[in-house]
Structure 1
Amino acid sequence: MSPKISFFIIICFLFNFSFNTPTAKATWVQCGFWYAGSEFPVPEINSALFTHILFAFAYINSSSYELRIAHSDEPYVSTFTHIVTQKNPSLKTILSIWAGREESPNFFSMVNQSSNRKSFIKNSIKAAREYGFHGLDLCGVIPNTDSNMKNMGTFIGEWRAAINSESKSSGAPRLILTMGAYYSPVLDAMAYPVDSIVRNFDWIYLTSYDYYLPTKDNFTGAHTALYDPFSKLNTDYGIKEWIRKRFPPNKLTIGLSFHGYAWTLVDPKDNTIGSPAKGLAITADGSMSYRYIKIYNNSYKATPAYNSTYVMNYFTVEWFWIGYDDVEAIKTKVSYAKEKGLLGYTVFQIPNDDDNWSLSRAAHGIEEDQHDKKKSKLAIVLPAGTLAAFLLCVAMYCVARKTIRSKGSRKLNQRSVDPNLQAFTFAQMQAATDNFSFQNKLGEGGFGPVYKGKLPNGQEIAVKRLSQSSKQGMEEFQNEVTLTVKLQHVNLLRIQGFCTEREEKMLIYDYMPNKSLDFYLYEPARQLQLDWENRVQVIEGITQGLLYLQEYSAFTVIHRDLKASNILLDNEMKPKISDFGIAKIFQKEDNQANTGRIVGTYGCVPPEYVKGGVYSRKYDVYSFGVLLLQIISGKKNAYLYGTDKNLNLLEYAYEKWKTESGMEFMDPSLDDKLSSCKLIRCLQVGLLCVQEKWEDRPSMLEVDSMLKNETALPAPKMPAFSRKFDHSEQGNLSRCEEDCCSINVDTTSHLMPR
């Protein structure tokens, strides 16, 4: 048995012995939303941090009043429960039904007619069972008239009765029934049927955030205020109002927000909560995920402030003010929920808005702290023999880890017999880069910093050094070394060697003087340096590089991280595909394969891989399509476009192609009059590459032919991750699907942010 396995078994035994007591733990709900349009891979959800996960969203059919699933979500909704419960078998999944904003008329048309209610209730229960969910959720409803409130109360009672009856007759566990509600039970003309909600729902979660928005408020607001000495717009007030309406605290969960908002200040010196502002900042609606906020903060090295009066965090970068909840605020709010006797918390949204699960862990940790105080006391008085055994295991693990690292290094050094690959010493790299000086630093990626260097023979090199904080390790390092040395093509970046001395991991490449493609694409001044002739050369080079990887090399390689920053440009602006750390060798006779580990870059990853871990040659075709659209437009895929700023890059490209206004999508500095490669044709090819189903996408051979004007082009279907439905495709759908595909989730922003 290996030392690592022995270590793991002993530790599990010790912790089980030390922390397990017969004391029963009270139910504590730790719930989070997973939004189907988030592009976060389902297999990567850390379900151990939650007791319940809400799948968002299903909708109400406007004609049959049955439950409907958006056509783009159908492949994923049926496997969701199976995937997320693999890591946490006790996890419960709940299918959330959006009935707010633009869906509100459908909901109240349904509840106002007895026959419509029966149709929805029967179908919703059937759908929950069919897709393997443990419960149903109603989200976003605001009853704005007495009639609506009364009919909603009737509907809720009938829904619960039907769920109870179905469970009794089928013998299956009773479905959970939950609801999302506004932070207060009464606000202006709105009132909830509180008595019916108390009787029939297992619990409700409050939208305890978005009290202030930069799109409507001309001051910096505490959008997640737990308390507010000057206003009723705060969570504490809302919860007290629900309790005053005789709503049991143990049927309420507090809402936690994993997003914040950015305002533009009137005066950067006046930068506290409530300071004058003149509108939103940074993003199209001012909203920023916690993950993006942390990246932004790290880039500008701003100093965050914590305000204990409102219980929130904020920082400023020149004219921009950003308010959000960090770890301390989240912990305080979960502690508040415990003190008030609430049932738990519900997060919007995980994991897309979180940063490496740090906020989810913070919330989860509070529950552990408060329920496990007795267990912690036991841990302090562990016998000396147990502690000694623990220390011995740690020593065994450290020795084993060092041995494994040494084996990995020796393995690589054995490969250095290849005359094309040199094993450099640490001293050589130190000298080449002037001791890894800041002046020689070219940039930094997921692997670590990259330095410019010069060998004694005068050859310029690029040195990629693994950082201690990188999530990549020996596996990715070995993968890149072994793959890159075997792949020889003019459009692939050539590796010179590696260095593994002193437990370092460094890769040494040819130096590319013109940086990467993203350096030019998104800055107006630099775009002019990359005219259409140069961009055609880049497109052709990337195409040939991918053709080599998929068709002409000794083995098929799926790159899995094709993006603008991984396309380097030589002194003639010719492209070189780089970074093979997460590439996969693919059998030429295979059509597809699966992986449980989801990697890649958001926005460049196809839906079948994001949702289910399926990858094929069409993975890189999809990434190429995204990149092609960026090359011809000069636009980033992280922003929203269109008149209402509600379309992602792919949707915007498709809309412009569909309305025959494709030139409005293009970088205005480009002129294709003297080129055989036309912009509109590239737009259509790019859209063909990013279609939802991988079977619909062309192969790279077909892409090459299309770009060379050698074949007629078919009409592309709507791109992946679209939130609107193309009615011209209705001929391919059943009658039910026709009724179920007209939704635009992007407008659901009243109770569900962004």
Structure 2
Amino acid sequence: MVVFFIFFFTLFSCQFHPSTAQTWVKSGYWYAGSDFPISDINSALFTHLICGFANVNSSTFELSISSNFHNNFSIFKTIVKSKNPSIISLFSIWNGQPQTYRSILGEKANDSVLSSMITQSWRRRSFIDSSIKTARLYGFEGIDFFWVWLNSTDLSNLGVLLDEWRAAIASEPRNHSVSQLILTMAVRYSPSREIVTYPIESMKRNLDWAHIVAFDYHMPSRENFTGNHAALYSNSNKSGNISTDFGITQWFSQGFPAAKLVLGLPYHGYAWSLVNPSDISVGAPASGPAVTLDGSMGYRLIRSFIQNYGYGAQPVYNSTYVVNYFVVGSTWINFDGVETIKAKISYAKEKRLLGYNVFQVTNDDNWALSLAAQDREDKESNDHGILLKVLLPIASIIGLFASITYCYKSRVFKQRANVLSNARRSDPEKDSSAILEFGSNAPNLPTFSLSTIQAATNNFSSENKLGEGGFGPVYKGKLRGGQEIAVKRLSATSTQGHEEFKNEVSLTARLQHVNLVRLVGFCTEQEEKLLIYEYMPNGSLNLYLFDPIRRYSLDWTKRVRIIEGITQGLLYLQEYSNVTIIHRDIKASNILLDDEFNPKIADFGMARLFRKDVHEANTRRIVGTYGYIPPEYARKGIYSMKYDVYSFGVLLLQIISGKRNTFYYGTNNNLNLLEYAYESWKEDKGVEFFDESLNDSSSPCKLMTCIQVALLCVQENPDDRPTMLEVFSMLKNDINPIPIPKMPAFSKQKGEDADVQTGSSSHQEICSFNDSQISQLEPR
């Protein structure tokens, strides 16, 4: 028996001992022309960071740094090392921005400076010497060559350039404390182009690694059909062999070693405009880019775009291609999300690649993708160590002990196992320890064990994901008794935190009303923060209001029911509960719809509670959603019941119009939603403002009444706004005549600073879109 375990231990050690001690590369690009400060880069998540880009002079073939980039190049190394002293910094050389962009789009760019440089010896020498000099001048520890779309002549000459470059780096005079420069290169997903391939042998000799540009396979600016721009795997019936796995297999078949390949991870995606919104398949006809000028969207913008649709809006993860999709109306977006990044890291580990390279780090959203990459990488990397350091010694000790005392102890072990098994079966649904923190503030609110929620949500699988908001992702689940639930899970990158979680638990548990979403329970086990709600099968209101197809599901009868339900919910909060509650985040995405489209107000993380004799309060911490917050709060931090009245007025205008509050309207597209509503009402042109699908002829609740009441709610002075009780009466035609509204808040005609509202609102959506449009000079 002892001999067996010695053999077992030796075999296991050999099987799982790491084959190499080579560093796993976690690299990323940062563009020096970006508005994203170097100091905001979380360099602790990377082993290498690449500062781009240097240009090549068309006459001397020496490198030049734009005067606008000079300062960023100078301070890059110092700043990124302040957070991660071991990080290695490189700078990147490219083909020149216009040429590179044209080549990415598939246009001819063969007359580039680099193509001229590579053909003659003196030009190559000037280029190489200048690159080494530039690296040393700015303190970089390596050089990256970003030249992806080489033609056949370029590929023929590339091997000579790399041989000369490596020789120059090796022969560079330097003292012993200065390391030899690293040399890397960006390469196409496949080594073959037409009938010529990359010079594999020269690359193996001279490059520290080659990072595969494993993205931009399909783009809306060059194709009239949807496509996966960074698919790990392909479906030959739809997208041919254009996939990362196909390309990497080709690199292997050409003899390029996995230990010198780094996988490119795109932190951007693309949006297509569908010809037929009902055809959302890969390869569906498209009329061109959507959202931005060329359809490109950084991950941060994509997250913001999706979150704007609120509860029920969720991207779909496709494990066949290993991609994420988000489709709404005629907009079709393809990108890499957290699930995709994790899958690609596992793939890179499985293929024994050297690491991964991000393009670009500035497109991440609170470092969600980089954290996902690191989590997966850490898990994969630690497997061997865990087996050796934990499982093997324990297995060996237990095995040896068992072999000596088996007969004597077997009955005791069996009895103990039975005791433990019975203990585990006692009550897995409830976790009494979790109630200690919130018990006094959460009357009769059950706590759930983490294992129960994991079982209900299939371990928080992407298939169960309903959407994501500021708090974090929301998952659909089913408890053992069959009850369907929605689980909000606090994200590590959430903009909300412990206070919002505690606030929502303590407040929501006390509120009982048919038009308020019901909190079923919570879980704080193992540092998790989970809120468990009743499941709303129809998602959030904004999924319907702003969707060109779904909006037809909400006829005027349903919308009147929704308006009345929201009004009743707010009346309860302000008038009929034991205390006055200010929600502070009433908006379309926080109105959930049950199976009969009855509305329920959700998300009380930012709510505040007043005694009945207190009417307003002040805060320095401005929270809420721009576009829905009143002027007195935006400017002075003052909030009262009239805060929610204002938000309700904005929401009511959206319900009757189907229009967003972050766009501009009117003949000259210069009016915000409130201004446009006021002008339409004042000029008796409400029909131009209302959703054209609505017909109020058979309803006692009229559209013109709604717009007038909404305009009363969004007046500048909170004292001019009605109470929710008055709003309810006016909508029921119990108050006649209805007062005449003054010009709404944030109206430019009044000389007010409209930027406080519309400008800040655009920070949430429009500005994000414009940023992408303006930043066309910045590479994706």
Shorter-normalised TM range: 0.5 to 0.7
In the other structure, the counterpart of 1:30 is: 26
Structure 2 counterpart of 1:201, from 202, 207, 219 = 207
Mapping 1:229-628, distance limit 5 Å: 229-230=235-236, 231-300=240-309, 301-350=312-361, 352-376=362-386, 435-436=581-582, 493-496=635-638, 522-524=664-666, 527-528=670-671, 569=746, 573-575=750-752
**Counterpart amino acid of residue 145 in structure 2:** L
**1:168/1:512 CA distance change after superposition, 3 Å:** closer
In the other structure, the counterpart of 1:539 is: none
In the other structure, the counterpart of 2:45 is: 49
**1:277/1:528 CA distance change after superposition, 3 Å:** closer
The one of the two structures with greater contact order (alpha-carbon pairs below 8 A, sep at least 6) is 1
CA offset digits 1:675-710 (Å, max 9, x no partner)? xxxxxxxxxxxxxxxxxxxxxxxxxxxxxxxxxxxx
In the other structure, the counterpart of 1:112 is: 119
**Counterpart amino acid of residue 236 in structure 1:** D
Tell me if structure 1 keeps the 8 A contact 2:262–2:356.
yes
**1:376/1:435 CA distance change after superposition, 3 Å:** farther
Structure 1 residue 67, shift from structure 2 partner: 1.0
**1:528/1:510 CA distance change after superposition, 3 Å:** closer
**1:443/1:343 CA distance change after superposition, 3 Å:** closer
Q: Say which one has the larger Rg.
A: 2
In the other structure, the counterpart of 2:76 is: 80
**1:577/1:636 CA distance change after superposition, 3 Å:** closer
Structure 1 residue 68, shift from structure 2 partner: 0.7
Query: Structure 2: 5+ residue runs without aligned partners?
Result: 1-16, 101-110, 395-432, 439-497, 500-572, 591-602, 626-631, 652-659, 680-743
Mapping 1:122-141, distance limit 5 Å: 122-141=129-148
Distance between the aligned counterparts of 2:203 and 2:284, measured in 1? 39
**1:77/1:507 CA distance change after superposition, 3 Å:** farther
Question: Does 2:80 match 1:71?
Answer: no
Report the secondary structure of 1:30's partner residue.
strand
Distance between the aligned counterparts of 1:328 and 1:528, measured in 2? 40
Structure 1 residue 228, shift from structure 2 partner: 0.8
Report the secondary structure of 2:128's partner residue.
helix
Distance between the aligned counterparts of 1:429 and 1:82, measured in 2? 58
Q: Structure 1 length as normaliser, TM-score? A: 0.55
**1:127/1:496 CA distance change after superposition, 3 Å:** same
Tell me if structure 1 keeps the 8 A contact 2:42–2:83.
yes
Distance between the aligned counterparts of 2:127 and 2:53, measured in 1? 15
Structure 1 residue 83, shift from structure 2 partner: 0.2
Report the secondary structure of 1:575's partner residue.
coil
Structure 1 residue 35, shift from structure 2 partner: 1.3
Q: Structure 2 length as normaliser, TM-score? A: 0.53
Mapping 1:71-220, distance limit 5 Å: 71-99=67-95, 102=99, 105-146=112-153, 148-166=154-172, 172-188=178-194, 191-220=197-226
**1:432/1:63 CA distance change after superposition, 3 Å:** farther
Structure 1 residue 203, shift from structure 2 partner: 0.4
Tell me if structure 1 keeps the 8 A contact 2:301–2:768.
no
Distance between the aligned counterparts of 2:751 and 2:391, measured in 1? 63
**1:527/1:440 CA distance change after superposition, 3 Å:** same
Greater shift after overlay, 430-439 or 251-260?
Answer: 430-439
Alignment size in residue pairs: 484
**1:62/1:514 CA distance change after superposition, 3 Å:** farther
Structure 1 residue 287, shift from structure 2 partner: 1.3
Report the secondary structure of 1:43's partner residue.
helix
Question: Does 2:229 match 1:223?
Answer: yes
Tell me if structure 1 keeps the 8 A contact 2:30–2:51.
yes
Report the secondary structure of 2:326's partner residue.
strand
Distance between the aligned counterparts of 2:642 and 2:71, measured in 1? 40
Distance between the aligned counterparts of 1:513 and 1:304, measured in 2? 28
Report the secondary structure of 1:78's partner residue.
helix
Distance between the aligned counterparts of 1:240 and 1:41, measured in 2? 38
In the other structure, the counterpart of 2:656 is: none
Tell me if structure 2 keeps the 8 A contact 1:144–1:191.
no
Structure 1 residue 159, shift from structure 2 partner: 1.0
Report the secondary structure of 1:297's partner residue.
helix
Identity of aligned residues (%): 38
| Two-structure CA RMSD over aligned residues (Å) | 5.0
Structure 1 residue 528, shift from structure 2 partner: 4.6
